[in-house]
Structure 1
Amino acid sequence: MHDVAKHSHVEGHFQSTETVRDVVIGLSDGLTVPFALAAGLSGAVASSHIVVLAGLAEIAAGSIAMGLGGYLAARGDVEHYASERKREEREIVERVHDEEEEIYEIFEQYSVDREAAAPVLEALKRNPKAWVDFMMRFELGLEEPAANRAYRSALTISASYIAGGFVPLLPYMFVGSNTVALEFSVLITLLALALFGALKGRLVGTGALRSALQTVSIGGVAAAAAYGLARLLNSVH
C-alpha cells in the first residue's frame, strides 16, 4: 500500500484560467491606456505634476469601468448557465427520447457505439442531476461558474488595472523633465509587459519566452497606437 501511494500519479493541471484571463485584461489595459495618456500629455503640458494627476484620475476611472465590465460579463455567464440548466432539466423529463439520442450522438464523437454507450445512458437516467451535468458539459460545453465569480472578477480586473496603471506613471513622479520621463516610461512599460508575459506563459504552460514576446508585441502595438492617437489629437488642438 505504501509503494502504491508513493508512486501514485498526480497530474499538475493549471486550474485558474479565468483568474489569469482577468489579470491579463486588467493589467494589459492598465499598462497601455495610462501610458498613452501620459505620453500624449507630456508633449502638450510642461508640468509633470499635471501628467501624474491626469494619469491617476484615468486609473481611478478606468479601474472602476473595467471592474464593472468584468462584473457584468461574469454575471451574464452565471445567468446564461442557470437558464440553460433549467432548460436541460425540463428536456430530460419532457423530451426523454431526444435527450437519449443526444447522449448517443455525443459518444459517437468519441467513436463509442450505441451498444457501448447504453449502460452509461442507463446509469445517467437513474441520476437526473448527473444527466443534466453531463449534458451541460458535453452537449453545451458549459462549466458551472464558481461561487462569487462576478465579484472576484471585478476585483481582480480593477486591482490589475491599478497595478498596471502605476507603472508608466512612475517616471513622471520622480523625474522633472517630461521628455526624460517619457523615455523611462516606455522602457519600464515594455519591461513590465515582458515580465508579465513570461509569468503568464509559465502559469499556463505556453512557454515564458514565447509568451513574453507575444505580450510585448501586442501591448507595444496597442500602446504605440494609443500614443499616436493622443499626439494626433494634441496637434489638431
Structure 2
Amino acid sequence: MSTTSQGNRIKSPQSESNGETPKYHWNLQVLLREAIFGVNDGLVATIGLVSGEALSHQSHGSIVIAGLSSVGAAMVSMSVGSYLATVSQNDWVHQQIKEQQADIQNHPHQEAQEVTELLEDIGIPDRSIAQIRKDIISSRPRWLKFMVREALGVHPNHQETPLANAVTMAVAVMVGSSPPILPFLLPLPTLTARDLAWALSLLAALTVGAIKGRLTGSSLVLSSLQFGILASLSAAVGAGIGWALGLLGA
C-alpha cells in the first residue's frame, strides 16, 4: 500500500501498478486520536495559563490577550506539527514500499522464501503453503500487496491524511481552549471569571473523558477521572506559579 506526499491519501500497490484510480478514504480512528490530543492540549494549556495570570494579579484585559494569543499560537503550532508529522510518516512508509518493490524485482527467490516464512508465521498448514505461495507470487501486484501488509505491517486502513489531521487538530485545540478562556470574555469580575473557568474546564475535561471512554469502549468513570485529574493538575500548577510570581511582584 503506497502513499503520495502530495495527495496525502493512500493508494494500493496494485492500483498504482495497473494504472487504476486509487480508492481514497478517511481514517476515523486517527482523526479521533488527533481530536482527543488537541482538545486535551488546548484545555490543559489554557487553564494553566489563565490560572497563573489571574493569580499573578494581571489585569482582566491582559489575561484575555494572553489567553487568546496562547490559543492562536497553539492552534497553529499543533496543526502544523500534526501535518508535518503525518507527511513524514507517510513519506517513510512510501519509501519502505518502494524498497520492498525493488527487493521483489531484484531478489525474487529470496522474497519468495520470505513469503513462505510469513505464511508459516500466520499459521497456514504446511500442505497448503506451496499452493498459496504460488498464487501470491504469480502476480507482482498481489505479491507486493502481500509483502506490504505482512512484512511491513502497512494496511490501507491505517494510513493517515495530513490535511485532515491538521484541520482536526486545529479545531480540537480551539474547542478545548474555549471553557477556560470564555469566562474572561464575559463582563465578569476577574476572580469570578477565574472560578468559572476552573469549573467549566473541569466539567469539560470530565465530559471529554466520558466521550473518549464511550467511543473506545473503556470505562467511562476511569476515562473521565483521567481527564479531570490532568486538567486539575494543570490548573493547580498554573495557579501556583501565578501566585508565586504575584508575591514576588508585590
Asked if the contact 1:136–1:142 (Cα under 8 Å) also holds between the matched residues in 2, the reply is: yes
Does 1:216 pair with 2:214? no
SS of the equivalent of 1:140 reads coil
- The equivalent residue for 1:197 is 209
User: Residue 215 of structure 2 aligns to which amino acid in structure 1?
Assistant: L
- The equivalent residue for 1:53 is 65
Does 1:155 pair with 2:154? no
User: Residue 120 of structure 1 aligns to which amino acid in structure 2?
Assistant: I
Does 1:167 pair with 2:179? yes
- The equivalent residue for 2:145 is 133
**Alpha-carbon spacing, 1:144–1:185, altered in 2? closer, same or farther (3 Å):** same
- The equivalent residue for 1:22 is 34
TM-score (norm 1): 0.83
Deviations 1:100-135 (A, max 9, x none): 232233233333244322222222212222222222
- The equivalent residue for 2:21 is none
Q: CA RMSD in A?
A: 2.4
What is the alpha-carbon distance in structure 2 between the residues aligned to residue 66 and residue 82 of structure 1? 24
Return the match for 1:122 from 134, 139, 149: 134
**Alpha-carbon spacing, 1:178–1:85, altered in 2? closer, same or farther (3 Å):** same
What is the alpha-carbon distance in structure 1 between the residues aligned to residue 235 and residue 153 of structure 2? 35
- The equivalent residue for 1:8 is none
Asked if the contact 1:49–1:173 (Cα under 8 Å) also holds between the matched residues in 2, the reply is: no
Asked if the contact 1:42–1:179 (Cα under 8 Å) also holds between the matched residues in 2, the reply is: yes
**Alpha-carbon spacing, 1:183–1:144, altered in 2? closer, same or farther (3 Å):** same
Return the match for 2:83 from 67, 71, 74: 71
Could you tell me how far 1:32 is from its partner in structure 2? 0.9
**Alpha-carbon spacing, 1:234–1:154, altered in 2? closer, same or farther (3 Å):** farther
SS of the equivalent of 1:157 reads helix
User: Residue 137 of structure 1 aligns to which amino acid in structure 2?
Assistant: R
- The equivalent residue for 2:198 is 186
- Runs of 5+ consecutive residues of structure 1 not aligned to the other structure: 1-14
- The equivalent residue for 1:112 is 124
- The equivalent residue for 2:14 is none
Report the identity percentage. Answer: 25
**Alpha-carbon spacing, 1:198–1:122, altered in 2? closer, same or farther (3 Å):** same
What is the alpha-carbon distance in structure 2 between the residues aligned to residue 49 and residue 222 of structure 1? 22
What is the alpha-carbon distance in structure 2 between the residues aligned to residue 78 and residue 185 of structure 1? 39
What is the alpha-carbon distance in structure 2 between the residues aligned to residue 101 and residue 131 of structure 1? 12
What is the alpha-carbon distance in structure 1 between the residues aligned to residue 190 and residue 127 of structure 2? 74
What is the alpha-carbon distance in structure 1 between the residues aligned to residue 177 and residue 50 of structure 2? 10
What is the alpha-carbon distance in structure 2 between the residues aligned to residue 236 and residue 194 of structure 1? 34
What is the alpha-carbon distance in structure 2 between the residues aligned to residue 168 and residue 157 of structure 1? 18
- The equivalent residue for 1:95 is 107
Asked if the contact 1:77–1:145 (Cα under 8 Å) also holds between the matched residues in 2, the reply is: no
TM-score (norm 2): 0.79
What is the alpha-carbon distance in structure 2 between the residues aligned to residue 82 and residue 17 of structure 1? 21
SS of the equivalent of 2:70 reads helix
**Alpha-carbon spacing, 1:148–1:201, altered in 2? closer, same or farther (3 Å):** closer
